[in-house]
Amino acid sequence: MRCRLWLSFGFAAVFLAVAPMALAQSTGAGDTPATTAVPDASMSDWDSVTVEQASPPPNASGAIANEFEDWAVAVIAGDWRSSQGVPIAAFENSRRDLNAAFQRAGFDAANITALSLAPNADGSSLGSQRAFAAIEAVARRATAGCLLYFTSHGSPAGIVFGPEGMIGPPYMDRLIDSWCGTRPTVVIVSACFSGVFVPALAQTNRMVMTAARRDRSSFGCSEDDTYPYFDACVLESLDHAVDFLGLSQRTTACVNRREREGGLRPPSEPQTYVGAQMQTLLPFLRFASP
């Protein structure tokens, strides 16, 4: 049931200083088979995160678009194997069903790209560069905001991103800057040890949800699992949450319950960071009614 790492790493614990609307959050995906690193996949050495104080809405009238129609969405399944290298369906199932769930929540299907990095039957695969190009294309087309969801195995160094290797926190930060810039951005990383991404990705215009603390595994990436626990809880919560803040709360509660009921320890302790601009904006951005 637990994801087991093939590699061992040394790392220091991080203590996150989160703002009032930042909540300790979510849980989910995986661990890391040994792979060759994608360039710049090193881990951030930050020890803490300070969240800026919220400022008034940028619009003088306070009116903010109450929809996600012009948001770019990318859902990426970065791995397709268990920690033993056996093919599994959990990440692919998440990619497929999160795509549909985000459409129900009000995101336009034309602005969603759902990518699998699993190899094809002939051994070919999408590859990281073509995946990056697909995300960039949808971000150019839909410019109001970005939602990026990565589900994969993880380690203290980052997440598995296809056969080629891993993506670490600093590299992901630069990618997101190039795709989304200063627009409102929600980044969700569903993987073991995914809390390592919070310090590097923390920006005033971002909300970051991770499936686990930087020093904890998450659960649900074996051959018997339909989804990683975190992804299953996001799917369960999306049909009831009003907005991303509610999604974070519901997902965390769901993960905590499932881990408790399964006697799974130590708990994954998902994390959430909410930047100052997002603290002001998110309450006005509501999901479509179920």
Tokens representing 80 are 């397709």
Instruction: Report phi then psi at 56, rounded to 5.
Output: -60, 160
Instruction: Report phi then psi at 151, rounded to 5.
Output: -125, 125
Residue 207 lies in a domain: yes
Residue 18 lies in a domain: no
Residue 219 lies in a domain: yes
Which residues, including other chains, have CB under 8 Å from residue 287's CB and lie 6 or more apart?
Answer: 68, 105, 106, 238, 241, 242, 243, 247
Residue 55 lies in a domain: no
Running DSSP on this structure, what letter comes out for residue 240? T
For 112-135, write each residue's pLDDT tens digit: 999 999 988 887 888 999 999 999
pLDDT surpasses 80 at 6: no
Asked if residue 266 has a cis previous peptide bond (ω within 30° of 0), the answer is yes
Among candidate residues 87, 68, 104, 55, the one with its CA nearest the CA of residue 237: 104
The residue type at 216: R
Residue pair 176/185 in contact (Cβ under 8 Å)? The answer is yes
Name which residue leads in pLDDT, 289 or 124.
124
Running DSSP on this structure, what letter comes out for residue 243? S
Instruction: Give strand pairing partners of 166.
Output: 160
Q: pTM to 2 decimals?
A: 0.79
- Exposed e or buried b per residue across 132-154, where buried means at least 16 C-beta atoms within 10 angstroms of its C-beta: bebbbebbeebeebbbbbbbbbb
Running DSSP on this structure, what letter comes out for residue 111? G
What pLDDT does 103 receive? 95
Residue 4 lies in a domain: no
Residue with token string 């993960």? 255
Residue 174 lies in a domain: yes
> What is the band of 92 on the pLDDT scale with cuts at 50, 70, 90?
very high
pLDDT surpasses 60 at 10: no
Strands 154-155 and 158-160: antiparallel
**Total structural domains within the chain:** 1
pLDDT surpasses 60 at 20: no
Domain that holds residue 248: 25-50+69-282
Residue 288 lies in a domain: no
CA angle 36, 39, 45 (to 5 degrees): 100
Residue 12 lies in a domain: no
Tokens representing 40 are 């710049």
Domain holding 37: CATH number?
A: 3.40.50.1460
Lowest pLDDT segment from 34-43, 66-75, 201-210: 34-43
Return the axis-axis angle of helices 90-104 and 229-238, rounded to nearest 10°.
20
Q: Could you give the CA distance from residue 27 to residue 134 in angstroms, rounded to a whole number?
A: 27
